[in-house]
């Protein structure tokens, strides 16, 4: 059995237990790094499709805070941690390139996770030109195979 599976398992269990286990954070950090690479990715059907429903590519926004809605076709949404065929959860990439496809999607200001199964969000961006792109992650936040990636759109916040 590949060692990484154990570590993924430990990481998952630890992450889920985190609110209960005071002082467990150090263990989680240790386990997180080795779990970053997996031998196989969760398969996705060839006709699955992810897109940004709003804003449109090239949109000029007159407000800094705006809604982004996530479109998914021939594919379902499930919260993080739920393993079910043909499902995943959304990640919104802001002003960044695609992350590595064989490891969990980073979780920071440029990589927003929607692990509660959300299909829309509000974001606030400073004035200027920005890029937005969606990528689905599986139960463990790893992109599918093939990856479900939206077109990268450019928006202008005034």
Q: How far apart are CA 76 and CA 107, in angstroms?
A: 22
Neighbour count for residue 118 (Cβ, 10 Å): 16
CB of 72 to other proteins, least distance (A): 5
37 lines the binding site for other proteins (CB under 8 A) = no
Number of residues that bind other proteins (CB under 8 A): 34
Q: How far apart are CA 111 and CA 92, in angstroms?
A: 6
Q: Residue 119, preceding bond cis, omega within 30 degrees?
A: no
In the range 83-102, which residues lie near other proteins by CB under 8 A?
Answer: 84, 86-87
CB of 1 to other proteins, least distance (A): 5
77 lines the binding site for other proteins (CB under 8 A) = yes
106 lines the binding site for other proteins (CB under 8 A) = no
72 lines the binding site for other proteins (CB under 8 A) = yes
Q: How far apart are CA 73 and CA 133, in angstroms?
A: 16
């Amino acid at each position: 059995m590949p060692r990484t599976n154990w570590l993924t398992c430990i990481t998952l269990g630890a992450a889920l237990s985190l609110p209960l286990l005071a002082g467990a954070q150090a263990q989680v950090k240790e386990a997180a790094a080795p779990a970053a690479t997996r031998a196989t990715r969760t398969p996705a059907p060839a006709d699955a499709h992810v897109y940004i429903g709003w804003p449109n590519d090239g949109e000029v926004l007159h407000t800094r805070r705006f809604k982004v809605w996530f479109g998914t076709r021939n594919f379902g949404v499930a919260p993080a941690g739920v393993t079910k065929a043909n499902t995943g959860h959304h990640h919104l990439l802001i002003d960044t390139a695609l992350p590595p496809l064989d490891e969990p999607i980073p979780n920071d200001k440029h990589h927003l996770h929607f692990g509660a199964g959300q299909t829309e969000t509000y974001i606030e961006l400073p004035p200027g030109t920005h890029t937005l792109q969606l990528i689905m992650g599986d139960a463990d936040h790893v992109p599918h195979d093939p990856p479900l990636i939206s077109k990268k759109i450019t928006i202008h916040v005034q």
